[in-house]
Structure formats: C-alpha cells, structure tokens
Chains A and B, each alone.
Chain A
C-alpha cells in the first residue's frame, strides 16, 4: 500500500530556476491537493484538483502552476523559484465525499537560495 507518494523528498534550487514536484496516489481518489507548510504556521492550500483534467486555486496559488493529466498524478510546478517559496510541500488525496479522510504524502522539503 503506497498511498500518496511524493517525488523528490528534498531539493535545493537557485533563485530563478524551475522545477516540478510529482505526486502519485494509488487509491483511485478523485480529489488531490497541494499544501505548503511554513514554520509556525499551519498547512495552507496552494492548488487542488477535483478530477482528471481539472485544477483550481487555493489560498496561496501565486508563483505555482499545476496539472492533472492523469487521475493518479498531480504535478506542482515552480516556473521561477523565489526564496519565499522555501517550504515543505505536501500532497494529499481524498474521495469525492465531503466528509472523508484526507491522506497525505511524506512531504518535499524545498530550499530556494
């Protein structure tokens, strides 16, 4: 049971570089999410997807793009990384019911220097 898998686990970027974070889930969930966690703060929603081919903005979407070309994958892109994007990124997934548990990946620790 892999659940939600994030790749990579750690990354250091220089300001202005681009990268893509990959999230894969094997639970056939419709909904997928990207959150970021900063010190002293709770997780905040960046973008989410309610199904293959759909994406929507969350609370802090600026500087990020996402794609959901396959149901099991949700990609988070940083086109031009900034130091303010240094954070721990978590992917999550859940079923379509409004009152079900969310399952989280192990996180990606990104540092932008």
Chain B
C-alpha cells in the first residue's frame, strides 16, 4: 500500500531563507507527483506537477525534484517571503485513474 510521508511537519523561518521540504513515498510505481499549497480554511492550489519520467520542475522561486528509485521528492523554495506561509502538501498518483495519495503536509511559517 502506497504511503506518503512529509518531513518536517512544521517549519518556522525568517524571511529570506532558502527552504527544503521533503516528501517520501513507499512504492516507486507512480504516474506523477504533485505539490500543493493550502492556505488556512482554503482549498488546494497546485504548485508543481512532476511526471514519473521527469527529474524536476521549476516555477518562479519553486523547484521540485523527483527521485523515483529512492522514493523521494523535495520542494525547494528560494528567498522565502511571509506570503509563502501556508501548508504544503505532497501527493502521488498511483494505482490508475489519477487517484492521489497525500502526505500530511508541512506547515510553513515565514516571519519578517
């Protein structure tokens, strides 16, 4: 059974720091991996999607990498800002029909 784990559960950093959020999964047979952002009381916003054949994806200050063989993905946030404060969720698509298995998330707080 696929399981997704995110470390750390919570992170508090000063503005300007570069961050790395970690995601691991137990079964390497995935179709893709998505990183989402969730603001308090809000829905999920897709940040990056990495196909199983890709190694990384970039969008602005965000860079996500994927190592299927080791079952790991990292989300790198450069020059963090208070507006980056949110919960970041990692999810893998496996088992067909784009069904997603989610990690519990990393709650990020960036303070001025």
Contacts and interface: CB of A to CB of B under 8 A. Distances in A.
Interface string B1-21: 000100000000000000000
Contacts of B103: 42
Interface of A: 31, 33, 35, 40-45, 48, 50, 58, 90, 92, 94-95, 97-107, 109
A94 B42 CA distance: 19
Contacts, number: 69
Interface string B41-58: 111101001011000000
Interface string B71-112: 000000000000000000101010011111111110000000
B98 A94 contact: yes
A42 B97 CA distance: 19
6 A-B pairs with least C-beta separation: A42-B102, A106-B43, A104-B44, A43-B102, A94-B98, A98-B31
B6 to A, nearest CB: 8
Contacts of B100: 33, 35, 43, 45, 92, 102
Interface of B: 4, 31-32, 34, 36, 41-44, 46, 49, 51-52, 89, 91, 93, 96-105
